A and B are shown apart, each in its own frame.
Chain A
Amino acid sequence: MGAGSGSIALARGFADPVHDAQGIFRAVMEALARPGTVQPLPVALAPPAPLTPALAGIALALADPDAPLWLDAALAGDPAVAAFLRFHTGAAVVDDPAAAAFALVADPAACPDLAAFAQGTPAYPDRSTTLVLAVERVSAAGAPGPGGCALRLDGPGIRGTARLAAAPLPRDFAARLAHNRARFPQGVDLLLAGPGSVAGLPRSTRAAPADPAPPEG
């Protein structure tokens, strides 16, 4: 798509705005309610790269003029991405990560420190950013693959413990999540959005690096 030309041909939004948004929201809600599960994410969008269909779907379902978006360097590099998101959501695209309701991260390996985003306040911990990381692979079982992380999870929404593997992610992702958990009830919530699937890592989840092989039992 030609950026910076006089007229930009915009990619389409939802074919069925009411039910497409509902389907994506329910997948995201289930993902955050059951960390360690991977929920199917029904998206049929063809947004301008490097915005992935999963990131675009979650943004279109949940962002609007009351919920500003922050874009990572990879997404901010192409003005067509911001144009697509502004047109379809009406959301402001902000430069300050601490001002964002949703942060879209196309290059999760280069994700800024989680503390850079809105953490909420002790009285209003809900006033915090939700990060949406575009991953290539995310699964509840199996290996993360190169550049990825395998996590052992426990906390609300998890019966006993759970496992989650995704890639690409920062090498120290588990440590970053542990710092985020230490700020509870403040902190950010994360969504790992792969092709056609989404997993949730709410701030309530305790995460530790998992062994490469799935644990017994």
Chain B
Amino acid sequence: MTAPRQADPGYNFAYLDEGTKRMIRRAILKAVAIPGYQVPFASREMPMPYGWGTGGVQVTAAILGRADVLKVIDQGSDDTTNAVSIRAFFARTAGVAVTTRTADATVIQTRHRIPEAPLHAGQVLVYQVPIPEPLRFLEPRETETRQLHALAEYGLMHVKLYEDIARHGHIATTYAYPVEVAGRYVMDPSPTPKFDNPKMDDCPALQLFGAGREKRIYAVPPHTRVRSLDFEDHPFRVQRFARPCALCGAGDVYLDEVLLDDAGGRMFVCSDTDHCEGRRQAAGDAR
């Protein structure tokens, strides 16, 4: 963990101005009160391009306080460009402590993964979301999708999953797998692998979702029912991997494929770098 330091005095705390923070905070409060519903908000230009996490960064900036410990992951990894840049951004503009350890963090901003280690109460998981509307690729008109959510009319989504079965023999959606939140709204969990969907259900941490380009914020409160859509005869199933992680040997985690050479060499390793390092360290200590 890197201790808190002096924030760059050229910026307001955590970059955003106070008026913007209040607007985002009001949207977050409504999002928490209506689980799974997408609250429109006046997304700002951020000093990074759309698609790099502008929604997540704005949510993080609005909730962050001096006592927070921030962790940022990109596809599970603490050390990829996106994660390093956003961590450095908040270390500079807010002076907050940053960490790569899941258990030590109070705020975790994530792009497309949920950490393998169980989250605990008092943590906030902030997702970066590209397309918040789960029905968007089925119905391009915002006016129509908004009406479908108002009527809780989600037949389209079930037809889409059924067509998967008709074509492939199983539900072929593997990421951004739609979920129903607290028995009401169908929600896009952001492009996390469906492997992570069960972690959203009854999670002790608060989950916040920010979509910067699409200007939407939504939330799943702690201990809320999050059900992956499925059919009685085709129940929801997560991915299984044939082999364990090549580095730490974990068999119950999501794996990334890493190419080793140009002769077809490859290995499968934990996508969650902190989890993998922790396991290898523990194994080393035990020896």
Contacts and interface: CB of A to CB of B under 8 A. Distances in A.
B28 A66 contact: no
B65 interface: yes
Contacts of A19: 13, 65-66
A3 B28 CA distance: 37
A interface bracket (residues with beta carbon within 8 Å of B): 35 or more
Interface stretch (A21-29, A47-55, A74-82): A21-29
Nearest to B66: A19
Interface string B1-38: 00000000000110000110111011111111111010
> What class of interface size applies to chain B in its complex with A?
35 or more
Contact of A202 (B32, B39, B64, B150): B32
A5 B64 CA distance: 42
Contacts of A203: 33-34
Interface string B204-240: 1010000000000001111111000000000000000
Contact of A123 (B21, B121, B147, B182): B147
B63 interface: yes
A23 B182 contact: no
Contacts of B136: none
Contact of B223 (A21, A101, A159): A159
B39 A126 contact: yes
Interface in B90-115: none
Given A156-B182, A189-B33, A62 B221 contact: no
A210 interface: no
A7 B80 CA distance: 59
Nearest to B13: A18
Interface string A45-72: 0000000000000000111101100000
5 contacts: A29-B25, A33-B206, A33-B221, A34-B121, A202-B33
**Lowest 9 CB-CB distances: which A-B pairs, in order?**
A202-B33, A157-B221, A122-B150, A126-B30, A156-B224, A159-B223, A156-B221, A189-B33, A126-B39
